[in-house]
Structure 1
Amino acid sequence: MTVTEAVTEADRPLDLVADFPAIPAGWAYLDTAATAQKPRPVIEAITRAYGETYATVHRGVYQRSADMTLAYEAARRRVARFIGAGAESEIVFVRGATEAINLVAQCWAAVQLKPGDRILLSQLEHHSNIVPWQLAAEKTGAVIDVCPLTADGRIDLDAAERMLTPAHKLVALAHVSNVLGSVLDVRRAAALAHGVGAKLLVDGCQAVARLAVDVTALDCDFYAFSGHKLYGPTGIGVLWARAALLEAMPPYQGGGSMIDTVSFARTTYLPAPARFEAGTPHIVGALGLHAAIDYVEAIGLDRIHAHESALVAEARAALGRMNIVRLFGPADSAGIVSFAVEGVHPHDVGTILDEGRVAIRAGHHCAQPLMAALGVPATARASFGVYNGPADIAALVDGIERVARIFG
């Protein structure tokens, strides 16, 4: 057998850009951390659902409604398998990770916390994993503590271990930083939280499209993510929580679908997850998410992570050779490279790159406390997906060289 014959399909670089009709030839889309482009199977699933099989769910007695209900609940089961949930009833469909975290903040934290209780966050959290806890703390009298980062931009779990006390009731951390790409050791974070009697919520937005996630093995208590970062549609997301926690949480929205019985004297509610899904759900979004999960699992999360890790290494090496570029985050970041060009605002970097058909994110990335910790007002961020390749990195580097020429 030759060396070439010994190379398996899993070893070959991904070349999937043809699956993504919204990426024209010559356009380097490097903003997947903000939102992923959609592959044809997801687009086709959405088109078919709206154009051929659409009906409401959980209400109609006619056949198409029954069929759509089956498809909707099949999507819930697919999500449960995808993240290793113990049961499909632990999966709550929401609009996105932001709503998922707010749901926990309102229905768990605002009910369970009391004055003197503490919440531990980290310096690198997205605003969606900061502001809901501030709102809950204002309601309950709880106090928020902030865990620092290591020198290379990881959540410092050694510091967290020193900070945690029995007064801490919740720890809420990002699995993968949306700015630095640093990966949290979730199992250790769970052990530290549980060691003082606290619950652990994990923001998995940047993780589920890049890393194999098993919430049972990770031993967290809540896990949140958005469909649109997983190559699925916008407007659909997931909250996973342990069954006992969901059953003890009151609803935070009232309306159809979440009720058992209603009278003007008293209303009773259905068990989870229906209790948290008031109103007509995003039916087609759930079906699109199902298709997105099928798509990434057909490729393989390990293969996706290896592909993106190779692109990160290549990008960091190329940018690191430019003495006007400052890199942020660890060398082994998951699919994300944040950087600054000396003397040039990231918005200007992004505008000039766009002129060369390179799309990046520039700004504070909904992480202003992290920008303060880094000592910068903003960064430029290139983030990768299954459709990216070396040509995109070459275009990025060419664009930054043009930035350098323009700004002297």
Structure 2
Amino acid sequence: METFESLVRTEFAPEHTYLNTASNGLLPARTVAAVQEAVRLRAAGLPIGSLYEDAERVRAAFGRLAGVPAERVAMGASVAEYGGLIAAALPAGAEVLTAEADFSSLVNPFHMRGDLKVRAVPLERLAESVRPETALVAVSVVQSADGRIADLPAVREAARAHGARTYLDASQSAGWLPLEADSYDFLAAVGFKWLMGPHGNAFFVAPEDFGGLTPLLAGWVAGELPWDSCYGPVQELAHSVRRFDVSPSLLTYAGLRASLALIEELGIDAVHAHDLALADRFRAGLARLGHEPVPSPGSAIVSVPRLGHRQPELSAAGIEVSDRAGNLRAAFHLYNTTTDVDRLLDVLSS
């Protein structure tokens, strides 16, 4: 039986020390092979029904990771498009509560309405800032800039107490942090970061009653019988959350099917433990060097103030990290090792 380490070794052989999953995840070997096979089918003019089947397998796999049935999952291209649907459903003057400096794809659709009251507060004060006039609380599970994790149970309880809905962006958590999407009203996530898929996909989880949303982007794939919905107005929308689908990027879903299968084989709890052990090793090493990261306990993302300027130097040394607002951001995922952590610390100490 393969171990966690042996299975990962068969899938990844990065040429650099790659600690930048918060920007883009590495593609497993099986994912590369799946995309190449999908390209071959398209180039050869062969039947591509299997690629549409891949999309449904991906929907079911994400549902398992998120803890919801596949019928609660829609698939599109970006988090922003689903934020736009939520924004469009709010009445004029409704208050949307967000965290300061949260990711633009999450917050910007609410600003684009122009007639909503969007209020931003520090992340640690989000729950206590919910008030009776708050209609929606929108927050990233894990902050992109620095890895801080939102106190989701507190946010959920505060929102319920005031009759507000909740909308989570899990783009920086899906793939390493266990999800409980059923505890919140809406959740979106991209597939190209911690889920290690190709670009071109976003997931969306909504309630069985659709949460009052109108499928403004609905095309033929949003029909209950998609292939019977190709011409003229769609006569019958999907009875499930699939009514919020947009036309699938078939090459992307061919790859995602393989990537999500790998995560399920490894087990999300094992991935979570692996990633956190590496992040904590980095935090301990930073302390020895006299650096203090942004406090983000329990996060696979570690952000170090005033070290962002060293990103070009690190890249030249073959270590890929990010510079975010002057902070050095390192993100640790299943393909990383203690050697990667120690190499980063070694270069930072020089």
- Could you say which residue in structure 1 is the equivalent of 2:137? 171
Residue 184 (structure 2) pairs with residue 220 (structure 1): yes
Q: Provide the aligned length of Structure 1 versus Structure 2.
A: 343
Residue 108 (structure 2) pairs with residue 131 (structure 1): yes
- Could you say which residue in structure 2 is the equivalent of 1:244? 209
- Give per-residue Cα distances to partners, 1:231-255, cap 9 Å, x unaligned: 1111112011112126x42233354
Residue 329 (structure 2) pairs with residue 393 (structure 1): no
Residue 288 (structure 2) pairs with residue 321 (structure 1): yes
The alpha-carbon distance between structure 1 residues 310 and 162, as it changes in their structure 2 partners (threshold 3 A), is closer
Residue 12 (structure 2) pairs with residue 38 (structure 1): no
Return the alpha-carbon distance in structure 1 between the equivalents of residues 253 and 138 of structure 2: 26
Asked if the contact 1:328/1:337 (under 8 Å) is kept, the reply is: yes
Residue 116 (structure 2) pairs with residue 142 (structure 1): yes
Asked if the contact 1:209/1:301 (under 8 Å) is kept, the reply is: yes
Return the alpha-carbon distance in structure 2 between the equivalents of residues 55 and 289 of structure 1: 22
Residue 244 (structure 2) pairs with residue 276 (structure 1): yes
Asked if the contact 1:20/1:39 (under 8 Å) is kept, the reply is: yes
Return the alpha-carbon distance in structure 1 between the equivalents of residues 6 and 230 of structure 2: 52
Residue 339 (structure 2) pairs with residue 363 (structure 1): no
The alpha-carbon distance between structure 1 residues 307 and 261, as it changes in their structure 2 partners (threshold 3 A), is closer
The CA deviation at 1:225 is 0.9
- Could you say which residue in structure 2 is the equivalent of 1:234? 199
Segments of structure 2 that go 5 or more residues without pairing to the other structure are 224-228
Return the alpha-carbon distance in structure 2 between the equivalents of residues 395 and 94 of structure 1: 38
Return the alpha-carbon distance in structure 2 between the equivalents of residues 128 and 55 of structure 1: 37
- Could you say which residue in structure 2 is the equivalent of 1:121? 98
The alpha-carbon distance between structure 1 residues 257 and 129, as it changes in their structure 2 partners (threshold 3 A), is closer
Return the alpha-carbon distance in structure 2 between the equivalents of residues 214 and 134 of structure 1: 27
Return the alpha-carbon distance in structure 2 between the equivalents of residues 210 and 37 of structure 1: 14
Asked if the contact 1:305/1:334 (under 8 Å) is kept, the reply is: no
The alpha-carbon distance between structure 1 residues 336 and 14, as it changes in their structure 2 partners (threshold 3 A), is farther
- Give per-residue Cα distances to partners, 1:263-311, cap 9 Å, x unaligned: 5xx7656235454334x42122123222211101211211111111111
- Larger gyration radius, structure 1 or structure 2: 1
Return the alpha-carbon distance in structure 1 between the equivalents of residues 101 and 131 of structure 2: 21
Return the alpha-carbon distance in structure 2 between the equivalents of residues 262 and 256 of structure 1: 8
The CA deviation at 1:398 is 2.2
Return the alpha-carbon distance in structure 2 between the equivalents of residues 91 and 201 of structure 1: 14
- Give per-residue Cα distances to partners, 1:75-134, cap 9 Å, x unaligned: 22222222111x323211111xxx234323x3232232222x211111251122221221
Asked if the contact 1:17/1:388 (under 8 Å) is kept, the reply is: no
- Selected match of 1:76 from 51, 54, 59: 59
Residue 101 (structure 2) pairs with residue 112 (structure 1): no
- Could you say which residue in structure 1 is the equivalent of 2:226? none
Return the alpha-carbon distance in structure 1 between the equivalents of residues 36 and 86 of structure 2: 37
- Residues 197-346 of structure 1 mapped to structure 2, 5 A cutoff: 197-216=163-182, 219-229=183-193, 230-245=195-210, 248-253=212-217, 255-258=219-222, 260=229, 268=235, 270-271=237-238, 272-278=240-246, 280-323=247-290, 325-330=291-296, 332-341=297-306, 346=308
Percent identity, aligned pairs only, is 22
The alpha-carbon distance between structure 1 residues 261 and 335, as it changes in their structure 2 partners (threshold 3 A), is closer
Q: Could you tell me which amino acid in structure 2 is paired with residue 123 of structure 1? A: E
The CA deviation at 1:185 is 3.2
Return the alpha-carbon distance in structure 2 between the equivalents of residues 296 and 385 of structure 1: 11
Return the alpha-carbon distance in structure 2 between the equivalents of residues 15 and 76 of structure 1: 24
The CA deviation at 1:38 is 0.9
Q: Could you tell me which amino acid in structure 1 is paired with residue 342 of structure 2? A: A
The alpha-carbon distance between structure 1 residues 45 and 207, as it changes in their structure 2 partners (threshold 3 A), is same
CA RMSD of aligned residues (A): 2.8
- Could you say which residue in structure 2 is the equivalent of 1:405? none
- Residues 378-389 of structure 1 mapped to structure 2, 5 A cutoff: 378-389=326-337
Return the alpha-carbon distance in structure 1 between the equivalents of residues 166 and 329 of structure 2: 28
Segments of structure 1 that go 5 or more residues without pairing to the other structure are 1-7, 57-62, 149-154, 365-377, 403-408
The two structures have a TM-score, normalised by structure 1, of 0.76
